[in-house]
Structure 1
Amino acid sequence: MTEQAVASDRGVGPKVSSLTGLDMSHIRLCPAIAFNQIVGGRYKLHILCVLEGGTHRYGEIGRSLLRGGLGKPITPRILSRELRELEERGLISRRDYPVVPRKVEYSLTAQGQALLPILAEIVRWGATGAHEQILGI
């Protein structure tokens, strides 16, 4: 049995990623699993894509999720939850203005902007139509 196979059996990842060639010996959680935990969910990636265009209000984000989301409207409860989780994870910032009617704006933080190259690659892949073929759309 190879050293890498033994390490795998103990729950320790490889020292060097076969995908990237990077040293992974200091990493405790698989980056792919961590990415899914951070931005997983039905709308989080779409929200980040919307905010790539700049600051948006709550209603604007909700309306944008209707376009490109198979026409199913997001409920206010779910939108609030997704925005709150993205804010808690440091990917977006929320600015609440002390006015009536209530005005709240959301924008990407530096950490959120750091994900934009990854999102761009996902969109490039999607531009091939591969996702529609896989999903049977």
Structure 2
Amino acid sequence: MALDDDTHRGPGVSLLTGLDMSHITLCPAIAFNKIVGGRYKLHILCVLHRGPLRFGEIGRSLVKGGLGKPITPRILSRELKDMTELGLLDRKEYPVVPKKVEYSLAPRGKALLPILSEIVRWGATGVHEEMLEVPQSRH
């Protein structure tokens, strides 16, 4: 089955949403994965939805829900830098000593909250833990 006569042009109408996609070159699902893919980016967006946090606060927040494995400062720094460059996060540096930097959701990051909400809603069923064979904790 052929995808399109012209593979460099997107499909006319999305079968999933019914939206006109003829002006789109890159599949939105692939783009989404490139933008927020990786182990921590979605989790960073989730923890920042409550408000601005400092570097260390973000790092500590990522341990809970991540099977207890802490993120290294180097990886956290890279993720925050990437997300800031993409316009998902705002970085505010205060003119104080010691250095104080806060990260918050930028409008582009806030626009992803409804998607994250649906992912969390799906996760509330627990099916992801079954699929990934996550050991069940005792309450």
TM-score in terms of structure 1 length: 0.93
- What is the distance in 2 between the residues matched to 1:6 and 1:114? 30
CA RMSD of superposed structures (Å): 1.4
Q: Which runs of 4+ in 1 moved over 4 A?
A: none
Segment drifting more, 8-17 vs 106-115: 8-17
| Aligned amino acid, residue 71 of structure 1 | G
Q: 1:108 Cα shift? A: 0.5
| Aligned amino acid, residue 57 of structure 2 | E
Structure 1, gaps ≥5 residues long: none
Q: Indicate yes or no: 2:108 matched with 1:114.
A: no
In the other structure, the counterpart of 1:42 is: 39
Number of aligned residue pairs: give it: 134
Paired-residue identity, % = 72
- What is the distance in 1 between the residues matched to 2:30 and 2:71? 25
Whether contact under 8 Å (1:8, 1:14) holds in the other structure is no
Q: 1:14 Cα shift? A: 1.8
In the other structure, the counterpart of 1:64 is: 61
| Aligned amino acid, residue 50 of structure 1 | V
1:41/1:8 Cα in 2 relative to 1: closer, same or farther (>3 Å)?
farther
| Aligned amino acid, residue 93 of structure 1 | D
Q: 1:6 Cα shift? A: 5.5
In the other structure, the counterpart of 2:137 is: none
Q: 1:72 Cα shift? A: 0.5
Q: 1:123 Cα shift? A: 0.3
| Aligned amino acid, residue 63 of structure 1 | R
- What is the distance in 2 between the residues matched to 1:113 and 1:53? 11
TM-score in terms of structure 2 length: 0.92
Structure 2, gaps ≥5 residues long: 135-139
Q: 1:12 Cα shift? A: 3.4
